[in-house]
A and B are shown apart, each in its own frame.
Chain A
Amino acid sequence: MATTIPIGPYHPLQEEPEHYLLTVEEEEVIDVDVQIGYNHRGIEKLSEEKTFNQVPFLVERVCGICSHSHPYAYCLAVEDCGDIEVPERAKYIRTLIGELERIHSHLLWAGLAGHFIGYDTVFMWAWKYREDVLDLLELLTGNRNAYAMMKPGGVQREIKREDLEGARPTLQTLKEKSEMLYNAILDDPVLKARLEGVGVLPEEDARAFGALGPTSRASGIPADARADFPYGMYEELDWQVITREAGDTLARVEVRLLETLESIKMTEQIIDEMPDEGSIDSEPENVPAGEGIGNYEAPRGECFHYVQSDGSNRPVRHKIRAPTFMNFPTYKSTCVGETVADATIILASVDPCYSCTERAISLKGREDVDLLELSEKKTADLKEELGVNKSPLEEVLDE
């Protein structure tokens, strides 16, 4: 007999209000229905009342975690509409902040994913290392989130060379810690058992639903706006699009963690290559009548903005499409047929901008370094027993 389990809108596992109706037959999920709109503030409508230079501050508040992505996509749309050139130095700064944002967003997600399956150690670790990125962003932009760096035609603020150099040690630590996290997660037999083969999104379904970002890349679609529609400095940087064929939750975890490492690599290159002198703003006078499209690869997938201008100082129409809007409906393919216990992690594995605030255990009375060492030692012992020598990351790098 089918039973319906209502979840939300205010539920301890969710950070944002959403309402799910899981229809289950014993342990198996047979249908999912979702009600959203609790966070609908009407930004598209509000945007039509703001001037072109005010809108970036508004769209920064579409999502607090992607607070660089939406302004960037909007600026790309306005620049497409008005054929506005952006100085090279401004492009470097934009790319730098964008990649740092990706690191913090992916670490945030890794932590929450750990929490969803009851592995709070991962949650605490990931969020602890994430603080380093936030400190770095504060050093470079002045705020932990909502950086207010974007404007059509350039960036708002300068970044000094000494600040950039000051970022290097943090990036180095971050790299070590992310590698550690990657190995810790992929080495763990329990996590593997919980994630492997769970919530599979086949490639044809990913295409049909128009899935984006890590969700589609984990299903073997090599689509990435940074590579397909090059903006910023991505053409100049040495990086690669990470894809996996499996399409399961483990693959989505893997893609995000490896992307974190790619982003750290890119950030270091930007620090090396960024010129110290030069303009950061082309100061466009006005936006001519016309229309423009901007698509930006946010941590969760492509952000899509469409701007129409009639030659005045305000957009006539500003359409915003966030990545989760396309990624979330894939639950119809991934969730149905799985068990209730797996439903949370599957719904969370598209990184739907919701998270949890609950039941966090703090590691009181112990130095976490000791814990870390103990855990690494245990893994090493286990591996010796099994006769495996390489860490998962080394295996990936060997390929």
Chain B
Amino acid sequence: MNPSTFKEELSGRFGWKLGKGEQSSDRLYLNPEPEIFENLIEAIFEEHDGRLATISCVDEEDQFRLLYHFALDGEGFITTVKLPVDKDENPSTESITNLIPGAEWIEREVMEMFGIEFRNHPAKKRLLKAEALDDGDFPYRKDFDVENLEET
């Protein structure tokens, strides 16, 4: 299987809701409608043995974008599912830890570094962030004020 046949197979199931995205010989980017997101993740993880490599979060000006990278080891390509998250008071999205246990630490990292809440996450506590930083400090956001940070 290669990225284009893989995409064809998925669009047979999800139709136009799979969205557009770039693809090359070993990379596939998908921009699905949020409503099919969970089913899509489940299909990649369970039916195609996709290994969740990591979740990258990108702070764009008006929104956050979560990138779920799945490596399909046997097929030799990586597919990335993009999910936009609104940048409001409490940005939040659904956790996938209950489906993929390996996502627990990844989601915890995004939670404390970007302040995106993962609903129904089993362990919402700090992993990396120092005690000296406030709960409201999100270091990896672009607008995080590094200059005026107190020393302790």
**A–B touching in complex (CB under 8 Å):** yes
Assess whether A268 is interfacial by the CB under 8 Å rule: no
Contact with B along A344-385 (1 / 0, CB 8 A): 000000000000000000000000000000000000000000
Contact B101–A208 (Cβ < 8 Å) = yes
Given known pairs A37-B130, A326-B102, the reply for A308 and B69 (CB within 8 Å) is no
What is the CB-to-nearest-CB distance from B125 to chain A, in angstroms, rounded to a whole number?
9
Nearest B residue to A230 via CB reads: B76
B73: which A residues are within 8 A, CB to CB? Answer: 221, 223, 228
* Contacting pair A209 B102 (CB below 8 A): yes
Nearest Cβ on chain A to B12's Cβ, whole angstroms:
25
Q: Cβ of B78 < 8 Å from any Cβ of A?
A: yes
Which residues of B are found within 8 Å of A284, using beta-carbon distances? none
Minimum Cβ distance to chain B for residue A7 (Å): 17
Q: Does A207 contact B (CB under 8 A)?
A: yes
- Does A36 touch B at the CB level, under 8 Å? yes
Segment from A40-48, A54-62, A158-166, A253-261 that makes contact with B: A40-48
Chain B residues lying within 8 Å of A308, measured Cβ to Cβ, are 58
Query: Interface readout for A294-309 with B: 1 if CB under 8 Å, 0 if not?
Result: 0100000010101010
Chain B positions within 8 Å of A211 at CB level: 102
Q: A229-B26, A319-B56 are in contact. Are A207 and B51 (CB under 8 A)?
A: yes
Residue among B26, B57, B59 with the highest chain A CB neighbour number at 10 A: B26
Does A321 sit within 8 A of B, measured CB to CB?
A: yes
**A209→B140 contact, CB < 8 A:** no
Q: Do B105 and A306 have beta carbons less than 8 Å apart?
A: no
Q: B95 near A: Cβ within 8 Å?
A: no
Q: How far is the CA of A80 from the CA of B26 in the complex (A)?
A: 10
* Overall SS of chain A's interface: mixed
- Count A-B contacts at CB 8 Å: 85
> Which of B56, B105, B128, B146 is within 8 Å of A40, CB to CB?
B128
**Are A210 and B69 interface neighbours, CB within 8 A?**
no
Instruction: Choose among A208, A316, A325 the residue that contacts B106 (Cβ–Cβ < 8 A).
Output: A325
Name B53's contact: one of A207, A302, A328 (CB within 8 Å): A302
| Cα separation A211 to B101 with both chains bound (whole Å) | 11
Residues of A within 8 A of B127 (CB): 35-37
Instruction: Give Cα A316 to B57, complex, Å.
Output: 12
> Is residue B87 contacting chain A, with contact meaning CB distance below 8 A?
no
Q: A80-B27, A229-B26, A304-B69 are in contact. Are A42 and B139 (CB under 8 A)?
A: yes
Q: With contacts A37-B127, A42-B139, A317-B59 known, is A304 near B100, CB below 8 A? A: no
A45-B139, A223-B73, A293-B69 known; A325+B105 contact, CB < 8 A: yes
- Whether B129 is near chain A, meaning CB under 8 Å from some CB there, is yes
Tell me, yes or no, whether B2 is within 8 Å of chain A by CB: no
Query: Is A37 a contact partner of B126 (Cβ separation < 8 A)?
Result: yes
Question: How far does the Cβ of A128 sit from chain B's closest Cβ, in whole Å?
Answer: 36
Are A329 and B100 within 8 A (Cβ)?
A: no
Most buried by A among B69, B73, B130: B73
Indicate if B116 sits at the interface (CB-CB under 8 A).
no
In the complex, which residues 94-152 of chain B have their Cβ closer than 8 Å to any Cβ of chain A? 100-102, 104-106, 126-130, 139-140, 144, 146
Which are the 3 A-B pairs with shortest beta-carbon distances?
Answer: A210-B102, A37-B128, A319-B56
In the complex, 25 of the A-B residue pairs with CB atoms within 8 angstroms, ordered by the A residue number, are A37-B128, A45-B146, A210-B51, A210-B52, A210-B100, A223-B73, A228-B73, A229-B26, A229-B76, A229-B78, A293-B27, A293-B78, A293-B80, A302-B71, A304-B69, A317-B56, A319-B54, A319-B56, A321-B54, A321-B106, A326-B102, A329-B101, A329-B102, A329-B105, A332-B101
